[in-house]
Chain A
Amino acid sequence: MIHPIPSGTRDVLPDETREVRAITDALRGVFERHGYGEVYTPALEYESVLARGGHTAQGAGSAEAQPAYRVFDESGAALVLRSDMTVPIARVVATRYPNSEPPLRFCYLAHCYRGVRPQRGQPRELLQAGIELIGAPAPEGTAEALGVLCAALDTVGLEGYRIGLGDASLFPSLMAALGVSEQGRARLLAALVSRDFVGLEQELSDLDLGAHERELLLEVPQRRGGPDVLAASNGVVADAAANMRQVYELLEPPVAERVIFDLGLVRSIGYYTGAVFEVYDPALGAPIGGGGRYDELLGRFGRSLPAVGFALGVDRLHTALLGEERGTGASLS
Chain B
Amino acid sequence: MSATNGLTIAVPRGALFKETVELLSSLGLDTSELSSNDRKLLFEDIGVITMRPSDVPTYVESGAADLGITGKDVLLEQAGHGSADPAPREVYELLDLGYGRCTMVLASKTGPDPAAEALRRLGVMRVATKYPHIAARHLEETGRQAEIVEVKGSVELAPLTGMVDAIVDLTATGTTLREHDLIVREEIVECTARLIANPVAHKLRAPEIDRLLERLRAR
Q: Digit string of A106-125 for contact with B (CB within 8 Å is 1, else 0)?
A: 00000000000100000000
Q: Kindly report which residue of chain B lies nearest to residue A222, judged by CB atoms.
A: B210
Partner of A331, one of B91, B198, B207, B210: B198
A39 CB to nearest B CB, Å: 30
Assess the A260–B92 pair: CB atoms within 8 A.
Answer: no
B173-219, CB < 8 A from A = 194, 198-207, 210
Binds B, one of A139-147, A151-159, A191-199, A246-254: A191-199
Assess the B198–A285 pair: CB atoms within 8 A.
Answer: yes
| Chain A: number of interface residues, binned into ranges | 20 to 34
Partner of B88, one of A194, A225, A280, A329: A194
Number of interface residues of B (CB under 8 A): 32
Docked Cα-Cα span, A262 to B200, in Å, equals: 12
Q: Does A164 sit at the interface, judged by CB under 8 A? A: yes
Given A198-B93, A285-B63, A285-B64, answer yes or no on A331-B204 (Cβ-Cβ < 8 Å).
yes
Docked Cα-Cα span, A312 to B95, in Å, equals: 31
Given A224-B206, A282-B200, A285-B61, answer yes or no on A333-B92 (Cβ-Cβ < 8 Å).
no
Can you pick out 21 interface pairs between chain A and chain B where the beta carbons lie within 8 Å of each other?
Answer: A195-B88, A195-B92, A197-B92, A197-B93, A198-B93, A198-B96, A198-B194, A199-B93, A201-B96, A224-B203, A260-B203, A280-B200, A280-B203, A285-B61, A285-B62, A285-B201, A286-B63, A330-B8, A330-B65, A330-B66, A331-B205
* Extra 9 A-B pairs, beta carbons < 8 Å, given A194-B88, A280-B204, A287-B200: A198-B96, A222-B210, A282-B204, A285-B200, A286-B63, A286-B200, A287-B199, A329-B63, A333-B6
The list of the 10 closest CB pairs from A to B, nearest first, reads A285-B63, A195-B92, A196-B93, A330-B63, A280-B200, A285-B62, A198-B93, A330-B64, A331-B201, A198-B96
Question: Chain B: residues with CB nearer than 8 A to chain A?
Answer: 6, 8, 61-66, 80, 85-88, 90-96, 194, 198-207, 210
